[in-house]
Amino acid sequence: MEKGQNFNHPKKGSRIEVEPIRGEKDIKAIIQLLSGHPRDHLLFVMGINNGIRVGDLLNIKVGDVRYLKPGQVHQITESKTKKKNVVVINKSVRKALDTYFSNSISQIENHHYLFRSRKGENFPLSVQAVHGLVKKWTQAINLKGNYGTHTLRKTWGYQQRTKYGVGFDVIAKRFNHSDPKTTMTYLGIEDKEVHSILMNEIG
């Protein structure tokens, strides 16, 4: 490595792909790490349970999701693609929302951004701030690799494929990818990783 070069940043003219969080124990470790930080806990849980871009998560207002029950959705228009998509409220997300609202030290109004910056105004966190948070969380549990904002989205896809066996065509549709091969490459999933889960014994 050249003098002054940061291993977490690509060389000029190249790029480093961020990774999904592959291990379930690592996911649980971050959830435990964030247990005393309701906003960040909600951000992580909602991110890994939805698979949408962080920028779209940050656009959500409190009133969009405050009263939604598990199984209900909030319609969004993706800021990057302008395509329609949804934010899904499952039981884990609903529980994280309840924890966030019940532990807030200040009044949370429906017009507030769900993931407000702590600067005092009604501004959402920036994508850059979330990038730093994800790096901080993964470093705190000594997780090797390169992580950032896309880690949350990729973790959703990776876990759906390897843990639940969801097809790449379904995940590609959720990601608004043009084809499943793009999704496979995006998630960094190799054939051997998919095949290995078939050796898991059930019953």
Give the residue carrying structure tokens 């009263």.
67
Domains in the chain, start-ordered, CATH in brackets?
A: 24-188 (1.10.443.10)
Distance, in Å, from the CA atom of 20 to the CA atom of 96, rounded to the nearest integer, reads: 21
pLDDT, tens digit (0-9, with 9 covering 90-100), for 89-101: 999 999 999 999 9
Spot the catalytic one: 116, 154, 174, 177.
177
Instruction: Give the model's pLDDT for residue 114.
Output: 96
Phi then psi for residue 49, to 5 deg, are -105, 0
177 classed as catalytic: yes
How sure is the predictor about 104, in pLDDT bands with cuts at 50, 70 and 90?
Answer: confident
pLDDT at res. 99: 95
* The pLDDT value given to residue 192: 59
Q: Is 153 a catalytic residue?
A: yes
Among 66-70, 153-157, 181-185, name the one with the lowest average pLDDT: 181-185
Instruction: State the pLDDT at residue 69.
Output: 96
Q: Which of 3, 15, 80, 119 is catalytic?
A: 80
Given 41, 153, 154, 174, the catalytic residue: 153
Whole-prediction pTM? 0.81
Secondary structure of the chain as H, E, C letters: CCCCCCCCCCCCCCCCCCCCCCCHHHHHHHHHHCCCCHHHHHHHHHHHCCCCCHHHHHCCEHHHHCCCCCCCEEEEECCCCCCEEEEECCHHHHHHHHHHHHHCCCCCCCCCECCECCCCCCCECCHHHHHHHHHHHHHHCCCCCCCCHHHHHHHHHHHHHHCCCCCHHHHHHHHCCCCHHHHHHHHCCCHHHHHHHHHCCCC
- Is the pLDDT at 4 greater than 50, yes or no? no
Catalytically annotated residue among 150, 154, 161, 174: 150
Which of 47-61, 158-172, 187-201 has the weakest average pLDDT?
187-201
> Is residue 146 within 8 Å of residue 8, measured between CB atoms?
yes
Look up 37 and say whether it is catalytic: no
Active site residue 186: yes
Q: Is 131 known to be catalytic?
A: no
Residue 102 confidence class, pLDDT cut points 50, 70, 90: very high
> What percent of the chain stands above pLDDT 70?
84
Asked if pLDDT for residue 9 goes beyond 80, the answer is no
Of the candidates 53, 154, 161, 174, the residue annotated as catalytic is 53
More confident call, 179 vs 29 = 29
Higher per-residue confidence, 33 vs 165: 33
